[in-house]
Structure formats: structure tokens, C-alpha cells
Amino acid sequence: MKPVLALVGRPNVGKSTLFNRLTKSRDAIVADYAGLTRDRHYGEGKQGKLEFIVIDTGGFEPTAETGIFKEMAKQARQAVAEADVVVFVVDVRAGLSAQDHDIARYLRTAGKKLVLAANKAEGMLEGIQLAEFFELGLGTPLAVSAAHGQGVRSLIEVAFEHLPPQDDTEEDDAEADRPIRLAVAGRPNVGKSTLINTWLGEERLVAFDLPGTTRDTIRVPFERAGQKFELIDTAGLRRKGKVFEAIEKFSVVKTLQAISDANVVLLLLDATQGVSDQDAHIAGYILDAGRAVVVAINKWDAIDSYQRGLVQRSIEQRLPFLRFAPVLPISAIKRQGLGPVWKSVAEAWASAMRKLPTPQLTRVLHEAVEFQQPPRAGAFRPKLRYAHQGGQNPPVIVIHGSSLDHVSDAYKRFLEGRFRSHFQLAGTPMRIEMKTGRNPFARTDS
């Protein structure tokens, strides 16, 4: 299970910039303005082979008792409760403040591993500027520059140096005796627990018409048609800003971890409510995690033909990046449409683990280039020579050639469509990596 790292600190110390650096994204809005981030924000971080979940928080004022700052403090406390490691970010250029002391006093009582990151340290000599932060009593401050990437690698190494190693089970997933880990994910009250109870034929999980009944991930062994599964019922992801109760504080991070640990994710939508922003966020996280996915629209029996058309159009508009995933209408409570779900799950898993022979990949690549060459970039036209498989779940196709840095995203999508069509890959995302060979005639300075 992926470890969790939380970023906390007072406003405008660079937490969101560090979040974007760790997740290699621009998901967190960054500006030179205090208090811009207010809710918790989750992302996928990676350093070498280590993968982890990063939580960005708003400015932390532990003593705030009213208004938005009180709610921001609640969000920060919940992020600390969810985390395995807490990175306390301070501003070297602004120096130590009374608010930093308040935060440090709270963190010392949290019982979490703490790392003190002295941000905005680019171009500054270590020593004198960092000395005052020893007053916080949190150990040696690490000089970093989130904006320039300096010291970030060392920060991650220190943060996770004593954590137990992650289980590396991906290579063994294709073994016949290993169950397929199937996670059921979605917003609260879409019928996840009801669906699993229907599969099991018993009230194994608490199902109640109240959003957020499931507080933690629950794993249930299950066998169907000789295939072993491990069903994972995830706690519903609520809208950010709505998760304040202490009993629910682990729901979001547990759901994200369950998605990361699964082989296939069944994304459950509510036909009566359509596709929301939160559904799109969950779908985006599934895609980022590279998991095979099947989309099921629950409560299909509760809407009429006009509403069904609206739901189908909303899926096309809000989830265009999941066009590869099958979309199936079901009714968990009436046991309708469940057979096709199992068939699609099996096909998605088979596609995610399919072995793609190098000769076939290369032949499909050459046929695609012959049909439509990559656009010329300036004086160069990319040359795609051969392809091979670089991984499974999701399938990774590595293409070798020259000037491949100029291959556009649109052309990569074109190639993906050709590969999908030839190998009949459904229900799984695909990664295409370009590797440009070294020019043997390029001058090298000795």
C-alpha cells in the first residue's frame, strides 16, 4: 500500500509549488498570494521506484477558532491524521514566525514522523539562514527550493528512509492462483456496498441509504466461474470541504490507496444524479494510476428513456478520457445487468496483462506510419523504427527511432488507436513512450 506524505505550513510558504514538483503536475494552483489553497488536494508522487500519495493543504493556523481559517485548520489536521510522514514547510526568506511555532507545537503532539523543509533556499548559503529554525525542535531543517527542484530528492529520501518497503507484487499478478483485485469505487451512496452484497448473496457489508456509511476499505474473497477475486469496497469519496467528521477522515486516502492496489476498478455512477465533477476526479485518478477500468451506471431502472439519453451524453462529455472503457447499465438492487459486468472485468484484466510480441508491434507501427506519417517538426520528420512492450497493467509500448521528441500527442493517440484495434485491447489505459536513439555522427567533446 502506498505511503502518504502530507505538506503542512503557514500560508504562502510554497506548499503547492512543492506539491506540483512532487507530483510532476500543475494540479495545485500556485500564485504569490497567501491562503490560495483551502481544501486538501491529493496527487500521485514518484521518486525512483518509490510511489506515494501527496496531500497538499491550505495555510495551517492551529489556533484559529472562527471562519474559513478554522475550516482550513480542520483540513490540515485531517491530512496529518491520514499521513505516514508530515513535511512541515517553512519560508527561509521570510524567517521564523510565531505561527511556525504554533504549528510545530501541534505537530510534536501528532505522533507522526516529521521532516522540516526550509523552502525558497535557492542561492542562499546553508548555515546562518537555517540556524533559527532549530528553535522549532523538529531536528535539522533541509534546505530546498520547490520552484527550482533543489534538494527535493534528498527531502523524499529522508522522509521515507525508515518506512517498510512496498510490496512489489505486480510481476506475480498473472499467476493463475493469484486473485484479481477488483475495487469498486465511486461517490457516496451510489450503491457500492449493495452491489457487492448482491454478488455475494448475503448482507456482508453494511448498506444504508445514507452517504458515507462505509468508512474504510473492506476486502472480501470471492470466486466466480473458477476465477478468484478479491473484492475491495471503498469508502465513498466526498466532495472536498465536506469531510470534517473524525470518523470519516481516512475515507479519501483509503480509497486512493485501494485504487492503486487494485488490478481492475469498477467505477460506479448513479444514473439518478448523472456524472459530477467528483466522478470525473475519481476517473482521472484511476487513469493516472494506470488501472484497468469498467464503468457501471447503477440505478438504471430508476430513470426513463429521456434521462438515460442525458446520462449517456454526460458520460461522453465529462469522461472523454475513458473512451476505452466499457460503459454498462445495471441495477444492483434488482440484480440486472451484472453478467456483462463480470465479462467486461475479465476482458479488461486480460487486456491489461496481454503480452504484445515485438514483431507484431513493429508491424502495426510500420502500417500506421505508412497510413499516416507523423507531422514534420521544422526541418525534421520523426522516424519510428520499431516497438516493443515495456510493461503490463497498464500495457506500455516503447517506440524507438529518431527525432521522437517532436511526435505530437495527437499522433500518439492515433498510434494508440491502431494498437488497440489490432490487439483488441479494451478496458485498460495504455502508455506510449518514445525513445530517441543516439546519433552516431553527432560530435562529442572529449
Q: Give me the tens of pLDDT residue by residue for the chain, a chain 446 residues long.
A: 788 898 988 888 888 889 888 888 655 433 333 333 334 677 788 887 788 888 888 777 665 555 555 666 777 787 788 788 999 999 888 888 888 898 888 888 888 889 999 988 887 655 677 888 888 888 888 888 888 888 889 999 998 887 666 554 444 444 445 788 898 888 877 888 788 878 877 444 334 333 443 334 567 777 787 778 888 766 544 444 444 443 343 456 777 878 888 899 999 999 998 888 888 888 888 888 889 999 999 999 998 989 999 999 999 989 999 999 999 999 988 888 888 999 999 999 999 999 999 999 999 999 999 999 888 877 778 888 999 999 888 999 999 988 888 888 899 999 999 999 999 999 999 999 988 876 544 555 54
Residue type, 366: H
What pLDDT does 293 receive?
A: 94
For the 4-159 domain, the top CATH level (class) is alpha beta
**In the block, residue with C-alpha cell 501528532:** 110
What distance in Å separates the CA atoms of residue 27 and residue 312, rounded to the nearest whole number?
A: 28
Whether pTM > 0.75 for this model: the answer is no
How many Cβ atoms sit within 10 Å of the Cβ of residue 339?
A: 11
Contacts within 8 Å (CB) and 24+ apart, 276-279: 276/187, 278/187, 278/237, 278/238, 278/239, 279/186, 279/187, 279/318, 279/319
d(Cα 295, Cα 84) in Å, to the nearest integer?
A: 32
Which pLDDT score is estimated for 269? 92
User: What b/e string do you get for 201-228 counting C-beta neighbours within 10 Å, with b at 16 or more?
Assistant: eeebbebeeeebbbbebbebebeeeeee
The CATH number of 358-436 is which of 3.30.300.20, 3.30.450.20, 3.30.470.20, 3.40.1350.10? 3.30.300.20
Contact 266, 296 (CB under 8 A): yes
C-alpha cell at 179: 486473485
Cβ proximity of 57 and 15 under 8 Å: yes
Domains 4-159 and 358-436 fall in the same CATH topology:
no
User: For residue 306, how many other CB atoms are within 10 A of its CB?
Assistant: 7
What lies within 8 Å, CB to CB, of 410 at 6+ separation is none
- For residue 4, what are the β-bridge partners? 53
Q: Is the dihedral of CA 78, 81, 86, 90 positive or negative?
A: positive
**Looking at residue 138, what is its pLDDT?**
87
Cα–Cα dist 115/87, whole Å: 5
- Cell (9 digits) for 241: 470541504
Q: What pLDDT score was predicted for residue 400?
A: 92
- Whether the CB-CB separation of 80 and 40 falls below 8 Å is answered with no
What are the b/e assignments for 431-441, b being 16+ CB within 10 Å?
Answer: ebebebeeeee
CA distance 6 to 25: 17
pLDDT computed for residue 356 by the predictor: 92
- Which CATH homologous superfamily contains domain 178-352? P-loop containing nucleotide triphosphate hydrolases (3.40.50.300)
Sequence spans of domains, the chain: 4-159, 178-352, 358-436
Q: Are 116 and 138 in contact (CB under 8 A)?
A: yes
**Residue 337 exposed, middle or buried by CB count within 10 Å (0-12, 13-18, 19+):** middle
